[in-house]
Structure 1
Amino acid sequence: MAGGGEQYEASASALGYLFQFAKALHTCIEQWMNAGMDWSVAVEAADDIEKHTGSVTDLLQLKQRAEGVRLTDTSEDLWKTLRIWAEAAKAGRIDLAETNLLLLTTADLPEGSAGFCLQPQDSQHRNEDQALELLRAARKASKVSKGALLSCFAAFDRLDADDTPLQRTLISRIQVLGGTPDITDVRKSMLGIAAFAVGHEAAKAFLARLEGWFYDRVIEQMRTPGGSPVTGTEFDQVLTDLQHQFRYDNLPIDRDITGMAPDVSEAADKTFVRQLGLIGVGSERIGYAVRDYIRAFTQRSRWSDENLLRAGEIGEYERKLVEEWRSRFAEMAEDLGPEATEQEKKREAKLIYRWVDREARFQIRAGCDEVFVAKGSYHMLADELRVGWHPDFSARLMALLEPAGAR
């Protein structure tokens, strides 16, 4: 079992990655709102976050630290960041003329420190010459003789080790933003934007789906060598589609639910499966019915949990389904008459079920046209014996389901 210190380090590291993902998504949203379509964002590519807007590249280093932490001239956060950028510049992996280097930290910037002097270009406190002097002085005064910090110093030294010194050029491209919003504040900001897009009641559900898509997309990018970044066009398409799903006349259909392929054997004792068995529906079609039931049940439960349904909406939807079924069921019973054989009953019952399977496409909302919602909802009703296919379904199944001691 990990000790307290190790557990804290692991938690901090995990929170750092979550902060990185959240900030990258927030960056995409900001770009989408302000920069048109000509942009892209990648995670863990050339830096924590790599952003391209037109011909300009922004490389972002993120540091989330506890409240009260200060970014001093000998801070490891500062020097490790400088090492990353110094090595990339020295190797020619970044073009400093076209690249902005941003250190975003939740730590405070002490007045007069190098970080304080490297605040954004429009800051009255920015003083690149003083920042460089402070960094050189901190490096010279350091008593470090080994370890990570020494490697950082060495990388910074190498920038000026030949005839084309780069320290001053590198410093001119760096911007340090202290006291930046942490992961909690970033998510609050995104939630506010989501509320503006789809309303306060649906904001959390909307953001959860956007985050889910984005995290999957970033994992795909990171797992593929040279993986493609999220582009402005792609993000616009995803966001527009998601907004469409959250319109007043629609409800979201989730990919993890549409991909469900449940084990049919686990539903063998369900009443709606017994209903299909009464009329001789084959095992393959029963499998499809189980799939539609599970998907509809799960999606409806999620809508309910996320408060996306209006008061009484499911009850009204089921009333319509039952009434549409009732008129057809009554017509079937009337056509069969009291003398119908079992074979005739099954034949006509299969026609009722075929109607549900092929034609019954009643939408819970006008824009929500996913087929499994209606079909699965009918199976949910069949599971409660509120609808059925065999003319005698109620009596037969009630007898079948009645406890043996009660007969």
Structure 2
Amino acid sequence: MNVASKTSTHKAAGQYLGYSEQEARFCYHLLVSADDAQVVMEGEDDVSVRFANGDKILEQVKSATKHNALSDWSNDLWKTIGNWIADIESGAIDLHRTQFRLYVTPSQSGEIAVSIHTTNDEQSAKELEKLVRERRDALTRQPNCNKYVEAFLGLDEKEFSEFVARVSIESVHARPEHSVENLWGPTYSKETKQRLTNYAIGLAREKANALIKSGGEGIVDANSFRKEIQLFAARLNLPNYLASVSAEPTTAAVVSVHSQRPVFVRQLEIIGIGQDQEVRAVADYLRASADKTIWAEEGDIVQSDLFDWETTLVRTFDLNRGEIEDVLSASPAEAKGRQLLRLCLRTKTKLAGQDVPDHFAPGSFHDLSDQLRIGWHPDHKSILEEGK
């Protein structure tokens, strides 16, 4: 159904690489909204856009993989409309400052839905009201959604006309991520567009979820979000740079891993590096591990590249350890370990001939530490064994 001749527009069941339709649309609005806009997930609607002047866009997101959500008497269609009307009548929504959008995927169609979408003046509003009433009254029995239809038909003429002119329906994509994928320019390859889409939706989700879990609203500034995506896209186009495709791990994930005291964290405890640095190490470890997995899955690196990378890091560790022994021979073992850690974390080397993000080498060293292939304290193995 290609009804989105106007600008395109409750919760969806399907998933795209672990992302819901709602999250894909949240990302879409972050990418296309005005610079002064804030986009909200789980706010006034599935996705809301708030503008600096007080105007809003409210979007309902529907998955229709097993039914036509836009058929004439679809409960999805009419319940959405009924809920909007109820909020208008209660004063929760200002009709005169709000645009209403229904987004359905995959592509569906319905005559009444098309008529609602294309209504934009008083005359077409009268024709729509007549169409809905005649179609409903011609049924042998009332549809299950009739109470919402009644609420729609019960609006006074002026309110009815303005409301339907503010409603748009979009159902043109086979999958919800296509609305994001279609935004990238023609200079990007198909593979790059997919990576940009995956990263952008993931970043949008992580930002909103972190805010919601902390007890706030899932509000993200559109302009600042776009700047992050533009930076990622620029890095993705660099021929000798492996851009990180993983999101920053959430505070909850970092705290959970840190509390379990894996081997690499215990190694840091032994040299007394401090809890703040331990937490930073966990975040680097998690993100580097995620990047390695994704890069390998997407064909950016192969197993031999990782073998060579780790071999280089172990060699660097050995060289740094020798230097520490020469320069700090009289220092306590813990101090030697801290300085050895600092030297290693400053390492700048390439993976498969490409530069890597700043977190990747530190995270990889912590991975080697977790495997006990390296150790910061000269007696780390015996100390770890005693601590079991």
TM-score tier (shorter) = 0.5 to 0.7
Cα deviation 1:3-23 (Å, max 9, x = unaligned): xxxxxxxxx963399222222
Shift of 1:136: 2.0
- 2:4 alignment counterpart: none
Residue number in structure 2 paired with 1:166: 159
1:306 pairs with 2:297: no
CA distance, structure 2, for counterparts of residue 120 and residue 235 of structure 1: 32
- CA 1:54 to 1:143, structure 2 compared with 1: closer, same or farther past 3 Å? farther
Partner of 1:51: 49
Tell me the secondary structure at the aligned position of residue 359 of structure 1.
helix
Which position in structure 2 is the counterpart of 1:355? 339
User: Which residue of structure 1 aligns with residue 72 of structure 2?
Assistant: 73
Structure number with the bigger relative contact order (C-alpha 8 A, sep ≥ 6) is 2
Q: Which has the larger radius of gyration?
A: 1
Q: Would you say the 8 A contact 1:262–1:294 is kept in 2? A: yes
- Per the alignment, residue 42 of structure 1 pairs with 40
Distance 1:355 1:194, change over 3 A: farther
- The one-letter amino acid paired with 2:343 is E
Q: Is the 8 A contact 1:295 1:372 kept in 2?
A: no
| Secondary structure class of the residue paired with 1:256 | coil
Mind listing any 5+ residue stretches in structure 2 that lack a counterpart?
Answer: 1-10
Aligned residue pairs: how many? 351
Query: Alignment partner of 2:145: what SS?
Result: helix
- How far 1:356 moved relative to its partner? 1.5
Which residue is equivalent to 2:168? 175
Contact 2:40 2:219 in 1 (8 A): yes
Q: TM-score under structure 1 normalisation?
A: 0.64
Q: Flag the 1:38–1:77 CA change in 2: closer, same or farther, 3 A.
A: same
Is residue 2:132 matched to residue 1:135? yes
**Contact 1:296/1:377 (<8 A) preserved:** no
> How far, CA to CA, are the matches of 1:318 and 1:224 in structure 2?
37
Partners of 2:364 and 2:206 in 1: how far apart? 29
2:102/2:168 contact within 8 Å kept: yes
**Which structure shows the bigger proportion of residues in helix conformation?**
1
Counterpart position of 1:15: 14
1:109 match = 109
What is the root-mean-square deviation of aligned Cα atoms in Å? 4.9
Asked if 1:153 corresponds to 2:149, the answer is yes
- CA displacement at 1:133 relative to structure 2: 0.7
Superposed CA deviations along residues 302-353 of structure 1, whole A, max 9, x for unmatched, are 22221266455545544554444445555677x69xxxxxxx9785866653
TM-superposed CA distance for 1:203, in Å, is 6.0
Please state how far the C-alpha of 1:196 moved relative to its aligned partner.
7.5
With 60-69 and 193-202 compared, the bigger mean Cα shift is at: 193-202
Alpha carbons of structure 1 residues 196 and 189: separation in structure 2 relative to 1, 3 Å: farther
List gaps (5 residues or longer) in structure 1: 1-11, 337-343, 402-407
Deviations 1:147-167 (A, max 9, x none): 96242134234323xxx7522
Residues 363 and 80 of structure 1: is their aligned pair in 2 closer, same or farther, counting only changes over 3 Å? same
CA deviations on 1:230-258 (whole Å, 9 max, x unpaired) are: 22233234434645775643543753288
Per the alignment, residue 3 of structure 1 pairs with: none
